[in-house]
Amino acid sequence: MVWKLIERQQRWLEGEKGTVRKDWGGKVSIGLAFPNRYSVGMSNLGFQYVYSALNRFETVVCERVFYPEPEDMALIGQSAGRLLSVESQRPLGDFDLVAFSVPYENDYTNLVEMLRFAGIAPRAADRAETRPLVAGGGVALFINPEPVADYLDFIFAGEAEELLPEFLDFWKQLEHRSSNRFDILKDLAKSVKGIYVPSLYEPVFKEDGTLDSIHPLAPDLPERITVRRADLSKTEPCRTSVFTANTEFSNVMLLEIGRGCGRGCRFCAAGFVYRPVRYHRADDLLQTGPGDSATNRIGLVSAAVSDHPDIHDLCSSLLDRGNSLSFSSLRADSLDSQILSALESSEHHAVAIAPEAGSERLRRVINKNLSQDQIYRAAELLAQKSILNIKLYFMIGLPTENAEDLEAIVETAKGIRHHVLSSSRGKTRLATVTLSINSFVPKPFTPFQWVPFAGVVELREKAKWIRKALSRIPNVRVHFDLPKWAYVQALLSRGDRRVSFFIDKVAQEHFNWAPAMRSSALNPDFWVMRERGREEKFPWEVLDPGIERNYLWEEYQRALQEKQSPECLPGPACRRCGVCGP
């Protein structure tokens, strides 16, 4: 029956363009594992970039491995070792290194299951010397690695462009010596800045359950692991390297134009851990265009695409070349005639904007720096270009949120619908407003890392009220996430190593999350629902992204005072958050 698994992988390969297939002889073999299904992994630009970057090294052969498809789960679970790579259909256990790319916390259980399916002991302490080393990287892991620290031999803390060359230089040296797993990991932790080896660090807890310290077990290891950042002026822009019809972006070449965001929204972990904001030069981006790819459609990717300093020239040049454009994110306050013309030329009929909060008061709390007039003006401008389908992103459960803020979400949706209809030249039947409303999850390394999660019951009630308030408004649709999954995300993003108990219950003992959380003397509310004290040490602070803790606290206090902060303008003279200063 294993032929069914091989046949599926071969069908994927037949439908791909850009796949790299290399001979294994004399090369380091790396199984690049994505803890979700093929269609999700191949839609992830970071995963695609790492695959391409590793295969550019002559000494490396990198092949992809994904979480099983639903119809394959029973077959793969029958016996260990049936988790196969796409390129050569080799078992994951045959590789020298298994490297997980992990962008989302809710995929941690999939990571553990994939190790079990591969016949690799999920916990690092249980692995035999002959087994491959298991590593992890991706934004979820350099925001907080501790919930999965016991499963990984080491963790890449930072961006691949900066870490991979030094790591592979270290790996080359292993060919000339025989070392056991412990010695390799210890040398790695000492030799490559930005590599975190969890087994060489021990967490100590106080009697009340809070963290006292995470200290190194050897005197020559750093107290904290520096998160490495790439200089984008010296690196090739990330772009889609493998095209396949089995993705959300099947006919789009994604192109990263910048990394980080200077806007300073207080809820956004990416806006802080990716500081300072960096951009690829327009000339470099144009040289990285689609070339002989399968499409002329380009999706520009950045935390705030319209903030790129050369966005107008970049769009004009790409359109003149015959490309059509899409944008991963647009701010309502930065829509102008040139951006709108690019949208119109590319025949966009729907655009998303993110007020995040309904009221201006709450937007001051989260530092969104966006007025109601700017939101309505953006809707009018889009409608004038016959873009009549507007998607709005909101969050509920934000700090200091009250009933008036929920009412403001409803009023904002109504107001946008009114402005779209009044500016749509009579095309009223086409105008729709769609609200995507998600539960706020407090994230590490943000000013809101001290605040508690709002709670599942409270969020359900808020969602119920909003749905009822909008139910009779024509052409307004509303979608909510599930608060129970937001609770799980809060547990996995804010927890320490003890959270692995719950991950084991779900991934290895086949519990659902609710009974898994009831099965322990550990109360998950301790990590999720508890407000943290100013001086409490956090498990994620074993990493050092360069942001000063006092700065984050001061931003939290400004939030409580409903004060906005200015945009981050990086440079050597700036000392606000600590990233750019000495």
pLDDT at residue 177, as a whole number? 67
Taking alpha carbons only, the member of 537, 568, 34 closest to residue 274 is 568
Quote the pLDDT of residue 11. 93
| 251 has pLDDT over 90 | no
Closest CA to 386 of 425, 436, 434: 425
Max Cα–Cα distance, the chain, nearest Å: 76
Find the angle CA(437)-CA(145)-CA(266) to the nearest 5 degrees: 40
Question: Which amino acid, residue 109?
Answer: T
User: Which residue, among 455, 391, 43, has the nearest Cα to 249 in the 3D structure?
Assistant: 43
pLDDT tops 70 at residue 289: no
Share of the chain above pLDDT 70, in %: 96
Distance from chain centroid for Cα 374 = 28
**Quick one: DSSP state of residue 200?**
G
Half-sphere exposure (Cβ direction) of 549: Cα atoms closer than 13 Å:
12
What is the arithmetic mean of pLDDT over 242-252?
87
Of 126-140, 225-239, 419-433, where does mean pLDDT reach its minimum? 419-433
Least confident of 3-7, 280-284, 368-372: 3-7
Phi/psi at 176 (nearest 5 deg)?
-100, 10
Percent of residues in the chain assigned helix, strand, coil, to nearest 5? 40, 15, 40
Listed residue (268, 430, 272, 269) closest to 354, CA to CA: 268
Domain chopping of the chain, boundaries = 2-206, 251-494+548-560
Residue 294 is predicted with a pLDDT of 64
User: Can you identify the CATH homologous superfamily of domain 251-494+548-560?
Assistant: tm_1862 like domain (3.80.30.20)
Percent with pLDDT over 90 in the chain: 75
Nearest to 248, CA basis, from 39, 24, 486: 39
Residue 24 pLDDT grade (very low, low, confident, very high; cuts 50, 70, 90)? very high
pLDDT tens profile 308-323: 999 999 999 999 999 9
Q: Rounded mean pLDDT of 1-25?
A: 90
Same fold yes or no, 2-206 and 251-494+548-560: no
pLDDT digits (tens, 9 = 90+) for 108-160: 999 999 999 999 999 999 998 877 999 999 999 999 999 999 999 999 999 99
Angle at 376 between CA 373 and CA 379, to 5 degrees: 150
Contact 297, 251 (CB under 8 A): yes
> Residues 401-408: contacts with CB within 8 Å, 24+ apart?
401/357, 401/362, 401/454, 404/359, 404/361, 405/357, 405/358, 405/359, 405/361, 405/362, 406/358, 406/462, 406/465, 406/466, 407/358, 407/469, 408/357, 408/358, 408/359, 408/362
pLDDT in tens, 493-526: 999 999 999 999 999 999 999 999 999 889 999 9
- Determine which of 174-178, 290-294, 551-555 has the lowest per-residue pLDDT on average: 290-294
- CA–CA dist 397, 399 (Å, integer): 7
CATH number corresponding to 2-206: 3.40.50
Overall average pLDDT of the 540-544 stretch: 98
Closest CA to 136 of 127, 145, 128: 145
Which residue matches tokens 């004009």? 316
pLDDT at 575: 75
Side chain identity, residue 117: F
Measure the CA–CA gap between 438 and 64, rounded to whole angstroms.
31
Q: What pLDDT is recorded for position 427?
A: 56
pLDDT of residue 165 exceeding 90: yes
Please give the mean pLDDT across all residues of the chain.
92
Q: Which residues contact 485 (CB under 8 A, 6 or more apart)?
A: 106
pLDDT at 132: 93
